[in-house]
Structure formats: structure tokens, C-alpha cells
Amino acid sequence: MRLGLLGLGHVGCGVVQLLETQSEAIALRLGEPLEVGRVLVRDPAKPRPVKVNPDLLTTDPSAVLADPAIDVVVEVMGGVEPTGAYIRQALQHGKSVVTANKEIMADQGRDLLALAQEQGVDLLFEGSVGGAIPILRALLDSLTGSRVTRILGIVNGTTNFILTQMAEEGQDFAEALAEAQRLGYAETDPTADVEGHDAARKLAILSSLAFSTDVRSGDVLARGITAITSDDLAYARRHGLACKLIAQAEDQGGFVAAQVAPAFVDARHPLARVKGAFNAIYVYGDGLGESMFYGLGAGGVPTGSAVLGDVLQAARNRRSRVAFSRPLPSRGLAVRSAREAVSRFYVRLETETHASAAADLRRLLLQHGVTLSSFLDQPGQNRGQARFTLVTNPCTLGALEDALQAALSLPWVRAVGALVQMLDLQAGDLAVELPPTVQVEERRMLGRLDVAGPGEGGW
Ligand SMILES: NC(=O)c1ccc[n+]([C@@H]2O[C@H](COP(=O)([O-])OP(=O)(O)OC[C@H]3O[C@@H](n4cnc5c(N)ncnc54)[C@H](OP(=O)(O)O)[C@@H]3O)[C@@H](O)[C@H]2O)c1
């Protein structure tokens, strides 16, 4: 079996490294050796952390895509074009394709899988979500005995690393991002990660598989973590909460709602304990109850491990003259905007000092149907400034966003600092109990800091 690699960067090198260190085990599992036939790169002269015969490197895509000696093409070059065209060409040449490209699979996956089936070959993409975590194959196979109702988790290691650094090392966002870039967890342009777009692509793939319906990245409402400050994380800590960028999608009977947003979760919940570049994905279903998939969510070697697993599957299938891939079924569910989802929210508003600010803000929120369970009025960072920290009663995200938009038109409101979902998760047996002394301390802080609301009806 011969592989053609498109790209020899982080993931490509991870694949080559694993191929080298595990060549015997792979040959045993496959029944024959697996070798690299050709590798497409941009710059053949570039130094690489793995040893590859320089004669195998090429800058000509057709040397990989049209070489009859290559059985499986591994696309790990990233980007949408020309990458999408290369995947199509490889499939049209009768090669199986393995990709880790979430951008392409989120929005073109359905068409490409149909093409793969037409050609009687495989298109496998486990590495595109959750790095080494085997979540996609589980959703496509093992979990299909249940009706999946909800998916929820941490699917972006970069933002999780940044939030962990901010919470545990007291760094601000810029410092934590710089640290992530220094360690290779964040790209030079981190926009896709920190604005939630990368997580939205992964959630689109997860939702399409879990709910058997067509969810594209544009259907996922994405809010990132750039507005989160160490003050918000300090608030979370004082209240026994942790801040995470959560991707969540739900089959609400007839339609799907999907969003990526910062959320406060109970610090005892296992999701709160997912640190650094790790990912965790919960799957809820009628038959299966609640399952959590946890592991290294990115990195060249962990992702290379998922990619190589797919390569072995594709290679075995070619030997048996079968194909594993099939078009994704679609129930044609509508995708409803997550603005209609109901939750409690934490909001930090930065204002100028203004005599009737508190009353005006409450009135404005009430006009949009938003009532509060907690309202904290503090001095701002500088003289003449104030900060309002609110927690709403359950309301729609849309109503709250409209109210905050209206607040921004008030001359003394400077900025909506942070808007974070208060995620009420039932952790069941998975809850991690904190020692009683910590709980007492948290309750004490809660009592001291929050101005109690008037109860059920809100403010
Ligand atoms: N890195 C991760 O942790 C991770 C995790 C999950 C999924 N992924 C996905 O895996 C894919 C690869 O990511 P990566 O981090 O390995 O990327 P990377 O380090 O930037 O590597 C990209 C490779 O592709 C080659 N390449 C790019 N454009 C090319 C072109 N037009 N023609 C020829 N060669 C080209 C580059 O060649 P040169 O080396 O010569 O420049 C490089 O070897 C992406 O889709 C990414 O989203 C990555």
C-alpha cells in the first residue's frame, strides 16, 4: 500500500513519524507494509523535523493525484482551494482520501462523500474534529443504535489553552494568546480560533453526523473569547464556576440549533477540568444516556494518529475491495438560529458614572423581557467609570442581544464587556466533588458579592 501525502507540516510530519516508529505494528495490522510514495509540499528545501527521502518531495500536485501507484491520498495541507479541487481529483482518479480538513468537510463534506461513493472509494475524516479522539467514527457507527439528542463540548484546544492560562496563571487575553503562539498552540493569525469559527466548523461536522441532517458552518452562531477578561474569570472562580468555549447543538424535535459561545460551567463538572489543549465532547441520546469523549484535541502527532487510523481503514477496505464511506443521510431538519435558545446569561457592562444608571439599565432590559437574578454595581477601572455585572433569569439570547444593542446607544454606556452563557449542566455521577472547605468558601463569596434579586419574577 502506498500513500501520497498532500502537505508535510505539523500533521503530515506526525503521520510520517508514526509510520516510522510503528512500521512493524502497522504491517502486522494491515497484512502488508505501508509506505510513503510521494509528498506534495510548497518548498522542498524547507528543513523538516522528520526524515523523508528528498526524491519523494514534489511541488507538482498531479505527481501525487494521478500516480497509479498511489492507493490512498492523505490531505493535510489545509485551506479550501486548491485543496478541495485536489481531493476531488484524487477521488476521481479512484484513490481513497483521508483528510483532517474541517473547513472543507464542514461545508463540502456531503458532496465529497457522494463523489467518493460514486467512485467506490473511501473519504475518511476522523482527524478533522477532536484530534486523536475517535468521535466521528463513534457517531457514524457505534452510537447509531440511539437517537442522539444533544452534543456539547470543548472542541478548540487553542481557546481552551488561553482560558486555562488566564484562569490559572492570571494572564490577560493578550499574554495568554502570545504564550499559545510561542508554544505552537495558536497560529500567527488566530482569528479562526479565538472568534469561534474553527469550533463552529467542527460543530457543523459533529451535528451533521449526530442528527443526520445538513448543518453547515454558517448555520452555527459563533461567539469567541476575545471579550473575556481576567475579571470575568475571577467572577467565575468566586462563584464556583469555570469559563469554557462551549460548542453545543441540539435536536429540538423538527429542528436543530447550534452555537459556539463562552459559557460558565460548574467548576465541579468534568468539562471544567478539561485543561490546556485537551478536548472533551459529550454526546446525549435516548438510548445511550450520556457519554464523554476526552483526549488530545490537536497537535501533529495526536491528529496524525487519527489520520493514520483512517489510512489503515482505507487500506484494509481497498484490499477487501469495499468502501466504508457512504453519503450522509439527511432528515432535512431546519436549522434554527441559536438566538432563540433560552438560557441564563452573565453580562459585564462598562459605563461612565451616571446617577440613574442602575435603574435605567434594569428598565431597558425589562422592556426587552429580560429580568435579572443578580445585579452588581461596582466602580470601573478608572475614575468616573462604573461596571455592572448582571446575571439574567432565563431569556432568549436574541432578546438579551437586542437589549444590549439598545443599551449601547445610551451615551454613558461604554461597552458590553462580556456576554457569557450560564450553562446548567446535569453532571450526574460524573460531577467531581470539591472538598467541603472549598464549597463553604465559595458559598461565603457568593453571599458576600451578589446583591440578591427579588426571586422568581426577577427585577
Ligand atoms: N495542526 C493541528 O494540530 C491540526 C489538528 C487537526 C486538524 N488539522 C488540520 O490539518 C491540516 C494541516 O494542518 P497543519 O497544522 O499540518 O498545517 P501546516 O503545518 O501549515 O502544513 C501545511 C503543509 O501543506 C503544504 N502546503 C500548503 N499549501 C500548499 C500548496 N498550495 N501546495 C503544496 N503544498 C502546500 C505546506 O508545504 P510547506 O511545508 O512546503 O510550506 C505544509 O507542508 C489543516 O486542514 C488543519 O486544519 C491540524
Mean pLDDT of the chain: 90
Q: Does residue 455 or residue 247 have the better pLDDT?
A: 247
Whether 455 shows a pLDDT value over 50: the answer reads no
Whether 68 shows a pLDDT value over 90: the answer reads yes
**Whose Cα sits closest to atom 14 in ligand 1?**
10
Which atom number of ligand 1 is nearest to the Cα of residue 79? 45
Give tens-digit pLDDT for 352-389. Answer: 999 999 999 999 999 999 999 999 888 888 889 999 99
CA distance readout (Å), 135 to 130, 246, 299, 354, 421: 7, 16, 16, 51, 25
Q: What is the pLDDT at residue 323?
A: 83
Domain 341-449 has CATH 3.30.70.260: yes
Can you tell me the distance from the alpha carbon of 341 to that of 322, in angstroms, rounded to the nearest whole number? 43
Q: What is the pLDDT at residue 286?
A: 92
**Per-residue pLDDT averaged across 264-269, rounded?**
93
Q: Are 43 and 52 in contact (CB under 8 A)?
A: no
The yes-or-no answer to whether 2-134+300-319 and 148-297 have a common fold is no
| Distance (Å) from CA 75 to ligand 1 centroid | 9
**Burial of residue 351, with CB atoms counted within 10 A of its CB: 0-12 exposed, 13-18 middle, 19 or more buried:** buried
| Distance (Å) from CA 267 to ligand 1 centroid | 36
Q: What is the pLDDT at residue 447?
A: 34
**Whose Cα sits closest to atom 48 in ligand 1?**
11
Q: Is 160 helix (H, G, I), strand (E, B) or coil?
A: helix
What is the signed CA dihedral for 130, 186, 183, 238, rounded to 10 degrees? Answer: -80
Q: What is the pLDDT at residue 442?
A: 37
For 419, half-sphere exposure in the C-beta direction (CA atoms, 13 angstrom radius) is 18
Which atom number of ligand 1 is nearest to the Cα of residue 46? 40
| Distance (Å) from CA 372 to ligand 1 centroid | 47
**Burial of residue 164, with CB atoms counted within 10 A of its CB: 0-12 exposed, 13-18 middle, 19 or more buried:** buried
Q: What is the pLDDT at residue 327?
A: 83
Which atom number of ligand 1 is nearest to the Cα of residue 198? 47
Q: Are 325 and 122 in contact (CB under 8 A)?
A: yes
Confidence of residue 16 (pLDDT cuts 50, 70, 90): very high
| Distance (Å) from CA 46 to ligand 1 centroid | 14
Q: What is the pLDDT at residue 182?
A: 87
Confidence of residue 77 (pLDDT cuts 50, 70, 90): very high
Grid coordinates given for 14: 506526525
Whether 444 shows a pLDDT value over 60: the answer reads no
Q: Does residue 368 or residue 183 have the better pLDDT?
A: 368
Whether 446 shows a pLDDT value over 60: the answer reads no
Q: Does residue 73 or residue 382 have the better pLDDT?
A: 73
| CB-based pocket (< 6 A), ligand 1 | 7-12, 40-43, 46, 76-78, 82, 100-102, 127, 131, 298-300, 303
Grid coordinates given for 306: 487519527
Q: What is the pLDDT at residue 345?
A: 97
Largest CA distance in the chain: 78
Range from 142-151, 304-313, 324-333, 438-447 carrying the lowest mean pLDDT:
438-447
The fold of 2-134+300-319 is Rossmann fold (3.40.50)
Give tens-digit pLDDT for 302-322. Answer: 999 999 999 999 999 999 988
Q: What one-letter code names the amino acid at 20?
A: E
Give tens-digit pLDDT for 116-161. Answer: 999 999 999 999 999 999 999 999 999 999 999 999 999 999 999 9
Catalytic residue status for 202:
yes
Helices 173-182/157-169 angle, 10° precision: 120
Can you tell me the distance from the alpha carbon of 366 to that of 371, in angstroms, rounded to the nearest whole number? 6
**Per-residue pLDDT averaged across 95-104, rounded?**
98
Give tens-digit pLDDT for 382-434. Answer: 889 999 999 999 999 999 999 999 999 999 999 999 999 999 886 554 555 54
| Distance (Å) from CA 382 to ligand 1 centroid | 45
Whether 167 shows a pLDDT value over 80: the answer reads yes
Return the CATH architecture of domain 148-297: 2-Layer Sandwich (3.30)
Whether 15 shows a pLDDT value over 90: the answer reads yes
CB atoms within 10 A of CB 82: 12
Question: What are the extents of the domains in the chain?
Answer: 2-134+300-319, 148-297, 341-449
Q: Are 317 and 323 in contact (CB under 8 A)?
A: yes
Q: Which of 13, 48, 76 to mutate to test the pocket of ligand 1 (most atoms within 8 A of CB)?
A: 76
Whether 449 shows a pLDDT value over 80: the answer reads no
| Distance (Å) from CA 8 to ligand 1 centroid | 7
Task: Select from 69, 133, 67, 71 the least CA-distant residue to 100.
Answer: 133
Local structure of residue 229 (DSSP, 8 states): -
**Whose Cα sits closest to atom 15 in ligand 1?**
10
Which atom number of ligand 1 is nearest to the Cα of residue 83? 31
The residue from 46, 95, 102, 202 that is catalytic is 202
Q: Which of 5, 6, 8, 10 to mutate to test the pocket of ligand 1 (most atoms within 8 A of CB)?
A: 10
Q: What is the model's pTM?
A: 0.92
Start-to-end CA distance of the chain, whole Å, equals 68
Q: What is the pLDDT at residue 341?
A: 87
Confidence of residue 437 (pLDDT cuts 50, 70, 90): very low
Q: What is the pLDDT at residue 433?
A: 52
**Whose Cα sits closest to atom 41 in ligand 1?**
42
